[in-house]
Amino acid sequence: MPAMERKKKRKKILKKLKKPFRLIVLNENSFEERFSYSLTPMNVIVMLGGFLVVFSLLFYSLIAFTPLRTILIPDFSSYESRADARKARLMADSLNTVLKSQEHYFTDLKIILSGGKPVSTIPDSVPKGSQSVDLTYSISDVDQAVREELDHASTVFVTQAGKIPEAGYLLFPPVAGTMSSNFEPQFGKKGVYWTSVKNEAVKSVLDGTIISSSYTVSDGNTVLIQHPNNMVSAYKNLAVLFKQNGESVKAGEGIGWVSENANGQGQFYFEIWKNSVPVDPKTYYAN
């Protein structure tokens, strides 16, 4: 019995929804009929539902496909922005790793040049370009004799005017110029400035291997060369670098480009380290 009553109520409701009525629009002054519509409650409900659907689609399109989404939706970011952010994070992580590696490397290098022994055991403290370079010079007696002969042949002894440098042999001059400062390690001056003409190549003073070719904030473009017999030559404040870590160079081979000082002259800073101790470069050149 209740089922029959519910069925009758549904039929009654449907009958009311389908019951037609007429919507008439009249002229206010003359009461003339302008137009009229025959409607049912069902038609009104369908039209309102369609209007809401269309309005919702338009509103969604306005937000989803226009820049308004960045204003109306908090913390919204496009796929491209998220991809760029992810790429930037990866690059930052890579740069941070390289920076730490370089910091370890230069810390060890400073300790070595100061006569100490590096304590860092981090495997990435040496740049990739120089990991395969053997700087210990562990060679046999026969090889040592051959190297001593070659070293003797590669050095230039001063015979003119009977002058011999204090060190006993003459190194190849890095540039055609003069030393314009004094070696004063007690005041922190562990090298000398070498002045020359502008736009001249800086050359290696002896055969060796590049152990560092990079830029530092304090010394600018810098090249460090490991030579036989525990000698290291340093060339700082260069304008351009020609060589990379791990490359072998010959005496007189260009390694960089001289920079320009405030007076418009070519100038760079030059150091020589022997057994991890700075020495006066002038002892390797005749006056």
DSSP 97-113: HHHHHHHHHHHHHHHHH
Helix (H, G, I), strand (E, B) or coil at 124: helix
Q: How confident is the model at residue 24 (pLDDT cuts 50, 70, 90)?
A: confident
Contact indicator for 246, 130 with CB cutoff of 8 Å = yes
pLDDT for position 268: 92
Q: Which of 187, 145, 182 is nearest to 270 (CA)?
A: 182
Rounded Cα distance, 86 and 75, in Å: 16
The pLDDT value recorded for residue 176 is 86
pLDDT, tens only, 220-248: 999 999 998 889 999 999 998 988 998 99
For residue 160, the SS3 value is helix
- Determine the longest span between alpha carbons in the chain, in angstroms: 137
Question: Rounded CA gap, 61 and 109, in Å?
Answer: 62
Q: Could you tell me the residue ranges of all domains in the chain?
A: 2-72, 79-126, 141-284
User: Does pTM surpass 0.85?
Assistant: no
Q: pLDDT tens across 172-201, in order?
A: 899 988 888 888 988 888 999 999 887 789
pLDDT category, 284, cuts 50, 70, 90?
A: confident
Dist CA 231 CA 155 (whole Å): 14
Q: Which of 236, 230, 200 is nearest to 216 (CA)?
A: 236
Q: What is the pLDDT of residue 30?
A: 78
Q: Per residue in 78-105, pLDDT tens?
A: 556 777 788 888 888 888 888 888 887 7
Q: Which fold has domain 141-284?
A: Glucose Permease (Domain IIA) (2.70.70)
Residue 163 corresponds to which tokens in the numbers above? Answer: 């002058």
The whole-chain average pLDDT of the chain stands at 78
Structure tokens at 156: 């230039």
Top mean pLDDT of 79-83, 141-145, 157-161 is at: 79-83
